[in-house]
């Protein structure tokens, strides 16, 4: 798979019965199909857990919820120690540009999730913003560290 703008991690990669490549997802505790987007998602989760201090037990991957009466999924949601969403991430394949439309989608979904931080990444380029109290967003130069308070 393509080298991404994350630290290198050791992943368990195999093939399923049909010969498709699969990767072990430690959060979902099962092998999932290894697509370019999944490659990015696995790196983002590992980065948040191993390098930014988010507890793996407070992570959700491909979390389903209702938005405007439609079933949708968030790629990654990290929770605080009280179980409240603190970060929501959207992952795209490396060849897909992270555009304003991606952040608009995150902002719409966040009207339901209420995460403090929104992250959009294609594995090469990462964007993170903080939802400010009272509305609006502030872009951050790096992804946040987990706040244990």
pLDDT tens per residue across span 9-24:
999 999 999 999 999 9
User: Rounded to an integer, what is the distance from CA 32 to the centroid of its chain?
Assistant: 15
Sequence-distant (≥ 6) Cβ neighbours of residue 143 within 8 angstroms: 47, 48, 52, 87, 117, 119, 126, 128
Q: Per the domain annotation, does 34 fall within a domain?
A: yes
Q: Is 133 a residue whose pLDDT tops 90? A: no
* Residue 103 pLDDT level (bands cut at 50, 70, 90): confident
> What integer pLDDT is reported at residue 148 of this predicted model?
83
In the predicted model, what is the mean pLDDT of residues 80-98? 96
Which residue range forms the structural domain that includes residue 109?
A: 13-140
> What integer pLDDT is reported at residue 1 of this predicted model?
81
Q: Per the domain annotation, does 29 fall within a domain?
A: yes
Give the separation between CA 51 and CA 73, rounded to whole angstroms: 25
Domain with residue 119: its CATH number is 3.90.1570.30
Q: Is 134 a residue whose pLDDT tops 90? A: no
Number of domains making up the chain: 1
CA atoms within 13 A on the CB side of 20: 9
């Amino acid at each position: 798979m393509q080298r991404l703008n994350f630290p290198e991690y050791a992943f368990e990669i195999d093939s399923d019965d049909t010969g498709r490549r699969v990767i072990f997802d430690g959060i979902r505790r099962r092998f999932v199909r290894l697509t370019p987007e999944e490659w990015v998602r696995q790196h983002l989760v590992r980065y948040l857990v191993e390098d930014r201090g988010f507890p793996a037990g407070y992570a959700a991957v491909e979390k389903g919820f209702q938005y405007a009466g439609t079933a949708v999924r968030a790629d990654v949601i990290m929770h605080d120690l009280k179980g409240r969403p603190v970060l929501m991430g959207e992952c795209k394949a490396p060849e897909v540009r992270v555009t304003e439309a991606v952040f608009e989608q995150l902002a719409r979904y966040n009207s339901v999730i209420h995460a403090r931080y929104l992250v959009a990444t294609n594995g090469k380029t990462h964007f993170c913003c903080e939802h400010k109290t009272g509305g609006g967003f502030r872009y951050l130069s790096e992804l946040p560290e987990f706040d244990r308070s």
